[in-house]
Amino acid sequence: MLWRVRTTLVDRPGILAEIALACGRAEVNILALQVFPTSPRVTDELVVSAPTGWTDVMVAQLFEAAGGSDVSATRVSDASVADATTRYLRGVHEVLEEERDIASVLHELLETEPPDVADYAGHDVMVLNRRSGSELRISRAVPFTEVERARAQALVSLVGDAGADVPLIVPSNRDAVPLLRVAGLTDIEAVSAMHERCSIDTLYERYQVPLKMPMTTRMARRLVVPDHGTALVVQVGTDVVGHGVLELIDETWTFQLIVEDAWQRRGLGTRLMRLAASHAKDAGAARLTFVTAGSNDRLLRAVGRAGFVARVERHDGNVHITVPLREVRSIAATGSG
């Protein structure tokens, strides 16, 4: 039977030896230990294995008799023995890669359940600040240490744009000059914000499915750093107002783009197409296929304005517009990207 014990001790040499000796005499085995400095005293957290039949009160009394104060004892599972750093790194992975809710991950990391601890005196509340300005509250019967608060805040700050954080919804500044360039990881938040500003119709023309908002960090990261290609963006000031993904799919180079509603009909889609064509040619492509929903006539017009000779085909309700790249200049020749 495993217990997590939180106790405050006088910060002096030998105090842990006294705790270990008391546990050894009671046949309570110490399996893990964390030290949370709280000068001039210290808070220690131990995971211990106690004999069958022991209760939280019995475990707490053992540590109190050995010199501990403010002792709490909580039943835990085998997962509590795992290294704390490893658990938090795994938590980051679960939020970013498995799209788990960050609040759920923190509840597991901080072990907010069960609340039935010895000498229960009410919940402690941890208030964490998201990058969006909103707050995330986590409560637990056992008081949080400053180290735990710092760990949790660092996790929220690192992955706070995933899931629940709301991207910017203010329209972009239309006076600045658009810049076309290759996207990178620093564009994750700006690309998410652009999608939040787009209408349902614009999103459907790009993805051919109703897109769930707000966008997760995992999806935004794939949009700016695709597995088999290059992402391009149109930047205006600090905002991204257009985006496209150039990818090699089943030996066919494809390009799918989106321009937010307020910036449509200004030639940005045509410029993105030309830049994508140059990148595709540099990658060895002989032709490039633009893919869109069947009702998107704007893409057809943009292809014409770009000066491409196109072959138009329909596949499963989508339009595939394939253009040869013989006359397209490379990136070095155009000076773009």
184 shares its domain with 327: yes
274 found inside a domain? yes
* Prediction pTM value: 0.49
166 found inside a domain? no
> Which domain does 122 fall in, by range?
84-159
How far apart CA 215 and CA 207 sit, in angstroms, is 13
9 shares its domain with 58: yes
Q: How far is CA 279 from CA 88, 104, 262, 267, 270, in A?
A: 39, 42, 26, 19, 14
210-233: burial string, b at 16+ Cβ within 10 Å, e else = eeeebbbbebbbebbbeeebbbbb
Structural domain count of the chain: 3
Residue 27, SS3?
coil
170 found inside a domain? no
Contact 78/111 with Cβ under 8 angstroms? no
317 found inside a domain? yes
Contact 242/202 with Cβ under 8 angstroms? no
**DSSP 8-state code for residue 184:** -
CATH number at residue 67: 3.30.70.260
153 shares its domain with 239: no
289 shares its domain with 254: yes
Sign of CA dihedral 205, 224, 157, 179: negative
Domain-terminating residue out of 101, 127, 159: 159
233 found inside a domain? yes
Q: What is the pLDDT of residue 4?
A: 87
210 shares its domain with 306: yes
Q: Which two tokens stand for residue 122?
A: 């009410």
278 shares its domain with 314: yes
pLDDT in tens, the chain (337 residues): 898 898 988 888 888 899 999 999 999 999 988 888 766 788 888 999 999 999 989 999 999 999 998 898 888 878 777 778 888 888 888 888 777 888 888 888 887 764 444 444 456 788 888 766 678 888 877 778 888 888 899 888 887 644 433 343 444 455 567 899 999 988 998 999 999 899 888 888 888 777 766 777 788 889 999 988 999 999 998 899 999 999 998 889 999 999 999 999 888 999 999 999 999 999 999 999 988 876 667 777 788 788 887 888 887 777 888 999 988 876 655 555 5
164 found inside a domain? no
CATH number at residue 221: 3.40.630.30
Q: What is the pLDDT of residue 215?
A: 78
66 shares its domain with 210: no
26 shares its domain with 137: no
Domain-terminating residue out of 34, 53, 81: 81
Contact 259/242 with Cβ under 8 angstroms? yes
Q: What is the pLDDT of residue 173?
A: 53
